[in-house]
């Protein structure tokens, strides 16, 4: 019985030693050897004065979409630049405007601009999503990456306070 108590105490001592030997001063929510970049929240919203978010298939020439790309939080540190990109039918991504350094920035797009960009006429039920690729220094945070989640905020409910991850124009 005495031998069993000694074995249990020895096992307890070794397990305690093993647990606490794995700890270090770098443990915690953010280790010191990891750098964190501030990536600003950038909102993309339809502006007044343009046509609606629907491109009427039978009258594409009259479509004139207006949208604005801006820092969501006033006074936040702006990105180095943004490249405004457009995604067709949640698949193909093309660059619409490059090297935008002054925010807020307003843009106007026509159906002809979109057709030229993608090299094909607009068809019924096409969707075109406009959003910024965010550059912080030399690192690019894509709006629509091939895999994973884009540079959007990913927090549900921010749209209720005016945040727009992207602007969508649909052909109907």
Domains and CATH numbers, the chain: 42-171 (2.60.40)
The pLDDT, as a whole number, for residue 78 is: 94
The pLDDT, as a whole number, for residue 14 is: 63
Structure confidence by residue, pLDDT tens digits, 134-154 = 999 999 999 998 876 665 555
Q: What span, in angstroms and rounded, lies between the C-alpha atoms of 152 and 40?
A: 10
> What is the pLDDT confidence band of residue 74, given thresholds at 50, 70 and 90?
confident
For residue 128 the two structure tokens come to 């075109």
Structure confidence by residue, pLDDT tens digits, 15-36 = 665 566 666 665 566 667 777 7
- Length of the chain in terms of residues written: 172
- 3-state SS, residue 49: coil
Angle formed at CA 145 by CA 142 and CA 148, multiple of 5 degrees: 115
pTM of the model: 0.77
Q: Is the pLDDT of residue 1 over 60?
A: no
What average pLDDT does this structure show over 45-56? 85
- Exposure letters 99-132 (e unless 16+ CB within 10 A, then b): ebeebeeebebbbebbeebbeeebeeebebbbbb
pLDDT-above-70 percentage for the chain: 74
Torsion of CA 69, 70, 72, 74, to 10 degrees: -170
The pLDDT, as a whole number, for residue 23 is: 60
Beta strand spans in 78-124 (E):
81-88, 92-100, 105-110
3-state class percentages of the chain: helix first, strand second, coil last, to nearest 5 = 20, 35, 45
The pLDDT, as a whole number, for residue 146 is: 82
> What is the pLDDT confidence band of residue 99, given thresholds at 50, 70 and 90?
very high
Q: What span, in angstroms and rounded, lies between the C-alpha atoms of 126 and 90?
A: 9
């Amino acid at each position: 019985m005495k031998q069993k108590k000694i074995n249990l105490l020895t096992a307890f001592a070794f397990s305690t030693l093993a647990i606490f030997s794995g700890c270090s001063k770098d443990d915690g929510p953010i280790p010191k050897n990891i750098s964190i970049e501030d990536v600003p929240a950038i909102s993309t919203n339809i502006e007044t004065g343009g046509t609606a978010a629907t491109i009427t298939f039978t009258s594409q020439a009259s479509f004139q979409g207006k949208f604005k790309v801006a820092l969501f939080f006033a006074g936040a540190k702006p990105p180095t630049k943004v490249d405004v990109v457009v995604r067709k039918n949640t698949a193909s991504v093309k660059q619409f405007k490059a090297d935008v350094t002054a925010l807020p920035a307003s843009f106007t797009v026509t159906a002809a601009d979109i057709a030229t960009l993608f090299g094909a006429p607009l068809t019924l039920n096409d969707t075109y999503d406009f959003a910024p690729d965010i550059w912080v220094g030399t690192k690019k945070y894509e709006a629509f990456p091939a895999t994973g989640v884009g540079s959007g905020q990913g927090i549900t409910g921010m749209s209720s306070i005016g945040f727009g991850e992207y602007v969508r124009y649909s052909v109907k």
